[in-house]
Amino acid sequence: MGNVIKIEGGHKLKGSVHISGAKNATVALIPAAILANDSVVDIYGVPNISDVESLSILLKELGVDVTSPSSDHFQINTTNMKNKVLDHEAATKLRASYYFMGALLGKYKYVKMQMPGGCYLGPRPIDLHLKGFEALGANIEYHHGYYEISAEELTGAKIYLDVASVGATLNIMLAAVYAKGRTLIENAAKEPEIIDVATFLNKMGANIKGAGTSVITIDGVENLTGTPHEIIPDRIEAGTFIIMAAAMAEEVRVDNIIPQHLEALLSKLVEMGVDLELGSDYVIVRSGRELIATDIQTQPYPGFATDLQQPLTTLLTQATGQSMVRETIYTERFKHCAELQRMGANIIVGQGQALINGATPLYGAKVTATDLRCGASLVVAGLIADGVTTIHDSYHIDRGYDNLDTKLIELGAKIWREDVE
C-alpha cells in the first residue's frame, strides 16, 4: 500500500499562503535542544513534516520528553535524558539524525549510532563531520553499520572544511559548544539556518560568533539552559510556492518570508519576466506576462539554492527559448528531468547540467517522486499540466513540506490523495 498525490492541472491559483518554519533549521534545532541541561526548551514555528516525527522518536529513545502544546509548538524536556545507542529505524530513515552525533558527543563525550539515511542525491559523505570531531579530540570507530565516537575530553581546535558543508558546519558547532577553549570553523557554510541554530545556542548560553560568515568562532562554555526560540521561515518552501505562483497565479501572496534569503531566486524570476511585488515579509505574484528562458547555476548560499533547482526546472519548461541549469552542489540531482519528460518536457540532461527547450505544453502522467525536491518539481508540473498527474512515492514530499496539499487547495488547486495497491 502506498499513497499517491493526484493533481488536476490548469486551475489558476489565487489567495494567500503562510510559509512554515524552516525544515533545514528545524532538523538541527531539535537535536541542538538536547544540549540544554535539565531544562525545558520551547521551539515555535515547527513545521508539520515527517522528518520532525522521526526526530521526536529519537528524542524519546534518549529519554527526552516531547510534548506539542499546539501544532507548531514543541516542548522538549531534557531532565530525564540518558545517552543511549541510537539504532531505531528513524535514524536510518532520516539523514539529519546525524546532528545527534555532534550534540551527544558534545554533551556526553560519547555517541553510538547507526549510519544516517535520507534522500539519495549522489555521494553525501559525512567524512567532513568526522574530521571535525577528530580535530576536537574524538576517536571514531565504525563497526557493522554503527559509528562509535568517544573522547576523554573535547578541546577547541582550528578546523578547515574542504567543502562549505551545512551539515558539517552545524554538527561541529554542536560538538564544540562544550569543548574546552576556542574552536574556529573555517570555510564554514553561510546558510541562514546556521545563523538560526547559532542564535538559539547563544540564547541558551553558548558563545558563538561569526555565524553567517565563512569563519565561526566558538568559545566553550560549561552549561546551557533551555530557552524559547522561534524558527525562521522556510526559504525553500517559500521559493517553491513562489515558483508555483509564477507558473499558475492569478494573484498569490506568499506570507512569512525573509526576502533577503530569496534574493537569488527572486532576481532570476524577475529576469524571466515574472510580475513580482516585494514587501517586508511577503511577496505578491501576478499573472499575465510571458516567461523568458534563463540560465541558473546552483551555488552555496547566498547563491541559487540547489533545493530550488528542481522546482525551477519545471517552470523553465514554460519559458520561451533555451535555458541551461548547472548543478554544482549535487551533480546527480536531475532525476526529476526523466519524470518531466514523461509529461512532455523537452530536456536534455548532461553531466551536472540540463538544457531545457521551451515553452512546451505539459500533459498529466504517472510519475514518481524520487526525492523530496523532485516531488516538489512534479507538483509544479501537475499544476501546469493538461489533465491529471499521479505522483507516486509522495512520502518524499511529506518529509519537507508542511501540509502542501491543504495549502494548495486553499489557493484553488485541485489536488487530492489516494491509496494505491
Number of separate helices (H) and strands (E) present in the chain: 14, 23
Determine if residue 393 is labeled as part of a ligand binding site: no
Show which residues are catalytic. 119
**Mean pLDDT score of the chain, rounded to an integer?**
95
Length of the chain: 421
How high is the pLDDT of residue 145?
A: 82
Q: What pLDDT digit, counting tens, does each position of 116-149 carry?
A: 665 555 555 788 999 999 999 999 998 888 899 9
pLDDT at 184 over 80: yes
Closest CA to 230 of 17, 20, 68: 20
How far apart, in whole angstroms, are the C-alpha atoms of residue 309 and residue 357? 16
Q: Does domain 2-20+233-420 have CATH number 3.65.10.10?
A: yes
Determine if residue 373 is labeled as part of a ligand binding site: no
Q: Output DSSP code: residue 413.
A: -
Determine if residue 159 is labeled as part of a ligand binding site: no
Q: What does 90-150 look like in DSSP terms, one character per residue?
A: HHHH-GGGGHHHHHHHHHHSEEEEEPP-----S----HHHHHHHHHTT-EEEEETTEEEEE
Q: What does 178-208 look like in DSSP terms, one character per residue?
A: TSBSEEEEET----HHHHHHHHHHHHHT-EE
How high is the pLDDT of residue 118?
A: 55
Determine if residue 295 is labeled as part of a ligand binding site: no
**3.40.50.150, 3.30.1490.20, 1.10.8.60, 3.65.10.10: which CATH number matches 23-230?**
3.65.10.10
Task: Report whether 94 contacts 55 (CB < 8 A).
Answer: yes
Q: The whole model's pTM is what?
A: 0.94
Q: Output DSSP code: residue 352.
A: T
Which amino acid does the sequence have at 346?
Answer: N
Q: Output DSSP code: residue 386.
A: B
Determine if residue 329 is labeled as part of a ligand binding site: yes
Main-chain dihedrals φ then ψ at residue 403, nearest 5 degrees: 50, 50
How high is the pLDDT of residue 289?
A: 85
Determine if residue 125 is labeled as part of a ligand binding site: yes
How high is the pLDDT of residue 2?
A: 73
pLDDT at 92 over 90: no
How far apart, in whole angstroms, are the C-alpha atoms of residue 189 and residue 209? 14
The region, left, alpha or beta by phi > 0 then psi within -120 to 50, assigned to residue 230 is beta
Determine if residue 307 is labeled as part of a ligand binding site: yes
Least confident window among 87-101, 265-279, 326-340, 404-418: 87-101
How high is the pLDDT of residue 91?
A: 85
How high is the pLDDT of residue 421?
A: 76
- Domain ranges for the chain: 2-20+233-420, 23-230
How high is the pLDDT of residue 198?
A: 98
Which amino acid does the sequence have at 391?
Answer: I
If you average pLDDT over residues 166-192, what whole number do you get? 97
pLDDT at 354 over 90: yes
Long-range contacts of 50-54 (CB under 8 A, 24+ apart): 50/395, 50/398, 50/399, 51/23, 51/26, 51/27, 51/94, 51/96, 51/399, 51/400, 52/26, 52/27, 53/90, 54/90, 54/91, 54/93, 54/94, 54/97
Which amino acid does the sequence have at 382?
Answer: G
**2-20+233-420 and 23-230 in the same fold:** yes
